[in-house]
Amino acid sequence: MQFKTVLGIALVVCLYFAPALFDRVILPVAAPYLPGAKVPPPGYEASSSPLGTPPATTGSTAFVLQESPKEGQPFVAYDPCRPIHYVVRPDNAVQGGDILVREAIAAASQASGLQFVYDGTTTEAPADDRQAFQPDRYGKRWAPVLIAWSTPAESPGLAGDVAGNGGSGYAQAPGQPLVPLVLAAGQVRLDAPDLGGIIASRPDGTAEVRAIIMHELGHVLGLDHVDDPAQLMNAKNMGIMDFAAGDRAGLALLGAGPCVPQL
Ligand SMILES: [Zn+2]
């Protein structure tokens, strides 16, 4: 019986979940920081030039950027001139999960040139309406990317075949329509029971779980699903354990967004 359950998970694990629109709510426009403000003071940690450089790619076009919520904005990306902070909510984590997260982050950083900073663990639970600015918890800056080992009970979006989901909020400086939208305060929810089952039941389960985390980080950084089954950003994983040429081209583009110190 137990075996049957594990086998069932193995067969459907390939399904990923696109970031829902509620993961990409339009944040209040930036304004000078005041107590009680909904956004942080502008320019936190903003450098005058990108902190890293995306690697050269094959020029593959096998990727899809998330649709820009604003007409005339070609795409939405994180600001490459400041680090992307992230925290991990470790409750329910699979064995070795901390290492898998670190490896997935390293892979996303390498492919995009974006620089990540680990801020440690958090007790913050994932939420559909997660606040992008939580000064009491994280200080006067955009909330870090939250990576949460969750369960379908906590996150109904993980019910059934869904192994994880991910996305980011976005922000725009006020009164400056030409200033690009910028991603902020991303969130990844991982289905810990499903992923633990994969590790326990499949010889390459560890690599598969790492690939699932990488896929969700692709959503956090601005990639949508692509039809090509040879890419990690396909909605169903067909045994792809690493970013492929199209994924890498997309991530390199998303790592080359404009710097937006106004936010
Ligand atoms: Zn997905």
Distance 75 CA to ligand 1 centre (A): 18
Residues 161-188 have a mean pLDDT of 79
Alpha helices (H) along 127-259: 135-138, 192-201, 205-221, 245-254
Distance 164 CA to ligand 1 centre (A): 8
Segment 48-62, tens digit of pLDDT: 999 999 999 999 999
Provide the pLDDT confidence category of residue 148 given band limits of 50, 70 and 90. Answer: very high
For residue 33, the model assigns a pLDDT of 52
For residue 210, the model assigns a pLDDT of 96
Whether 184 and 169 have beta carbons less than 8 Å apart is answered as: yes
Distance 37 CA to ligand 1 centre (A): 33
Distance 99 CA to ligand 1 centre (A): 21
* Whole-number Å distance between alpha carbons of 223 and 21: 14
Residues 83-108 have a mean pLDDT of 97
Distance 165 CA to ligand 1 centre (A): 6
Q: Show the domains of the chain with their CATH numbers.
A: 2-254 (3.40.390.10)
For residue 16, the model assigns a pLDDT of 34
* Whole-number Å distance between alpha carbons of 132 and 8: 36
Spatial CA neighbour of 163 closest among 200, 203, 207, 213: 213
What's the whole-model pTM score? 0.88
Distance 216 CA to ligand 1 centre (A): 6
